[in-house]
Structure 1
Amino acid sequence: MSKIYFTLTGTKYYHGNEFLKPGMKLKLKKEPDNKFDKEAIVVKKEGLGEIGHVANSAHTVIGESMSAGRIYDKIGDTAKAKVVLVTPHGTICSLSKKSLIDNKHKKTEEAVDE
């Protein structure tokens, strides 16, 4: 599977995006109780807490990156990611392959087969 990219948005409502740098590690956490979006995924940075959300609108998703709705079922309750590119319109991040549910399932199957 090729890399999965997503747009980090809403940073202006938290700490801005000036501190974000390529390679910076982030944590994603599903927010099933979010009253605005049932597929909401909050993005956190260690030491800062919440810094934004995975974009989930055609107006906020940049280019061919995936929306929260497209990655929601590909991850568990939490996932890891890293910053790839910071722009004035949003930040492009890549999802860690180790965070993908299919990847975890395959590793479990391989361990059972051995």
Structure 2
Amino acid sequence: MKDIYFTITGMNYYYGSDFLKKGMKVKLVKEPDNEYDKEAIRVELKGLGKIGYVANSPHTVIGESKSAGRMYDLMKKKAKAKIVLITPRGALCELKEGK
């Protein structure tokens, strides 16, 4: 399967992004009961819990990375990913396991 990239957004609502480093591993968890977005995918970091969500808007997705809606059917209930780039707009990640 082709590499899948996505953007973490909404980090300012939790812990910010200053602590993130390239190569960090994150966990993705589908949230089908999310009241705002039925395709929501929560992003967690071990020891902190929720740090943001997979971007699901053309205004929050970085470059050609996939939105949560486009990733939703490509992954299982949970998945693992790795941070590849941190920008002021969000963190770009690569899906690793659970696809």
TM tier relative to shorter chain: over 0.9
User: Which structure dedicates a bigger proportion of its chain to helix?
Assistant: 1
Q: How big is the alpha-carbon RMSD for the aligned residues of Structure 1 and Structure 2? A: 0.6
Match of 2:98 in 1: 99
Residue in 2 that maps onto 1:90:
90
Structure 1, unaligned runs of 5 or more: 101-114
1:17: Cα distance to partner? 0.2
Q: Partner of 1:63 in structure 2? A: 63
Work out which of the two has the higher radius of gyration on C-alpha atoms and give 1 or 2: 1
Name 1:26's counterpart in structure 2.
26
Runs of at least 4 residues off by over 3 Å: none
Give the aligned residue type for 1:99. Answer: G
Q: Normalising to structure 1: TM-score of the pair?
A: 0.85
Question: How many corresponding residue pairs?
Answer: 99
Provide the C-alpha distance between the structure 2 equivalents of 1:90 and 1:47, rounded to a whole number of angstroms: 20
Instruction: Measure, in 2, the Cα distance between the counterparts of 1:21 and 1:3.
Output: 20
* Contiguous gaps of at least 5 residues in structure 2: none
Local SS of the residue matching 2:12: helix
- The alignment's TM-score, normalised by the length of structure 2, stands at 0.98
Instruction: Select the structure that is richer in strand.
Output: 2
Q: 2:30 is matched by which residue type in structure 1?
A: K
Greater relative contact order (Cα < 8 A, sep 6+): 2
